[in-house]
Copies of this chain bind each other. A is one copy, B any other.
Amino acid sequence: MASASSAASLRHLLRRPLCPPLLRPARRLLCVSSSTLTHGGDSSTSTSSDGALGVVDLNPPRGTRDFPPEDMRLRTWLFDNFREVSRTMAFEEVDFPVLESEALFIRKAGEEITQQLYNFEDKGGRRVVLRPEITPSLARLVIKQGKSVSLPLKWFTIGQCWRYERMTRGRRREHYQWNMDIFGMPKVRAEAELIQAIVLLFERLGITSSDVGIRLSSRKVLQAVLNMYSIPEHLFAQVCVIVDKLGKLSREEIEKELISTGLSSEAVQGIIEVLSLKSLSKLEEVLGSDVEAVADLKKLFSFAEQYGYADWICFDASVVRGLAYYTGVVFEAFDRKGELRAICGGGRYDRLLSTFGSEDVPACGFGFGDAVIVELLKEKGLLPDLSRQIDDIVFPLDEELEGPASSVASSLRKKGRSVDLAEDKRLKWVFKHAERINASRLILVGKSEWERGMVRVKILSTREEFEVKACDLE
């Protein structure tokens, strides 16, 4: 999977082809903001025959990405790994529109994700969003399928998610996210399965448990503390969202926010003390062993031993995750050097479906983005060599041989080979091109050979060259 000569492959991956530029340089265009284009777009700036505006911004919209071939190869490789792990875990792939009703994402706990909704009104007056996350769509489809499905459901999806925030910190407005979700399994077996999937993915990518760990806890820990201080149920999600900012905000700021929800300072201290625990036995001491949180976590650690990924996971009471709807075990993968944001995160959300008006179904899942993992792979030199690779280049040595070259290329393609057909170029260019795209063979269609029904084959790795009957070419 992972390339040994990792530094070299990274260079290779990041390098653009070195061939001579054949596309004449585009005029360097000023990036004209679209508002200028719209408001200033009168006929004086219009130059083309069908009235299009004469200058467009060459960049995709702010905070979004194009995927030229080399970036696309990396993305495909990553997604293939997501899919392969999902397949071994026996999950089924599903998908949803990137555009969803805003109502699916209206929650009042103050989450960052709902404050940064990429929302707008469509022409029919409907409030819609470019979805910030996929879980609500999954839940919606589970409810919709209702009777027709058998539980448990094990679904995965890979999709683009959006947010709208001021473009500081170099963060983007879109990313792709791999989601795996299980509906209908109330016990921590479900979490144990999800964590195995994450570990299998890391292992496929060449990442070890000394590079990455998975912190876990349970929201039931916080729930137990809230119960101790008789804090009303409706504050639970809000408190979770606030304490998730520990580490980003100062302790004083967190305390202030908690107090402002109406908590006593005694309760706030209690919460913060429990959240600092890093040991399950210590947690048991504080909460008692009959608390559900403790039993769940002990069970999950015992599963980890049996699955064989115990060295990847650790208990950390400060993990609560930022989504309002989690109710039980929560977890996140982190780089052990502590330089990156969370690589992925997830948890149990047993009560999401009732917020949509359905009966609840126990559920848990995770989201795994395409950004942090690629940063980590780059840093560790684990990006694979993903250069272009094709089988054959067919080249007619003479313009009048373009017909025969067509039938040679056509028949090779029908046999499943990937075939490029070069034309109107010099032989020297064709050889360079072959090198650039890692072609295996060059097939030259020359006049004297063709008259005998033959073509000339050159194996590019060995420089071996021979004639073969065109109809025998495989």
Chain A residues with CB under 8 Å of chain B are 16-17, 19-27, 29, 33-35, 37-38, 41, 47-62, 64-69, 72-73, 75-76, 87-90, 92-104, 106-109, 118, 120-128, 130, 137, 140-151, 153-155, 160, 162, 164, 174, 183-185, 187, 189, 192-193, 196, 200, 203, 233-234, 236-238, 302-303, 305-308, 324-325, 351, 354-359, 361, 388, 390, 402-404, 406-407, 409-411, 413-414, 416-421, 423-424, 433, 436-437
Contacts and interface: CB of A to CB of B under 8 A. Distances in A.
This protein's copies in its complex: 2
A295 to B, nearest CB: 15
Given A200-B414, A407-B306, A61 B93 contact: no
Contacts of A73: 93
Contacts of A233: 49
11 contacts: A33-B126, A38-B127, A41-B106, A47-B354, A50-B236, A51-B109, A53-B103, A66-B95, A67-B94, A303-B403, A305-B403
A150 B436 contact: yes
Given A54-B355, A90-B418, A66 B120 contact: no
B419 A34 contact: no
A62 B123 CA distance: 12
A34 B164 contact: no
A59 B140 CA distance: 8
Given A24-B359, A418-B87, A35 B150 contact: no
Contacts of A68: 94, 141, 145
Nearest to A45: B357
Given A51-B107, A423-B189, A26 B150 contact: no
B59 A29 contact: no
B94 A72 contact: yes
Nearest to A361: B23
A143 B56 CA distance: 10
A122 to B, nearest CB: 7
Contacts of A357: 27, 29, 54-56
A57 B104 CA distance: 8
Contacts of A189: 402, 421, 423
In order of increasing CB-CB distance, the 9 nearest A-B pairs are A51-B108, A50-B237, A48-B355, A64-B97, A90-B420, A67-B95, A69-B92, A52-B355, A55-B357
Contacts of A413: 88-89, 196, 200
Contact of A20 (B120, B150, B361): B150
Given A109-B51, A302-B403, A407-B307, A56 B104 contact: yes
Contacts of A17: 148-150
A446 to B, nearest CB: 17
A387 to B, nearest CB: 11
Contacts of A97: 60-61, 64-66, 174
Contact of A150 (B23, B107, B137): B23
A73 B121 CA distance: 32
B324 A50 contact: yes
B140 A56 contact: yes
Nearest to A87: B418
B120 A34 contact: no
A146 B95 contact: no
A103 to B, nearest CB: 4
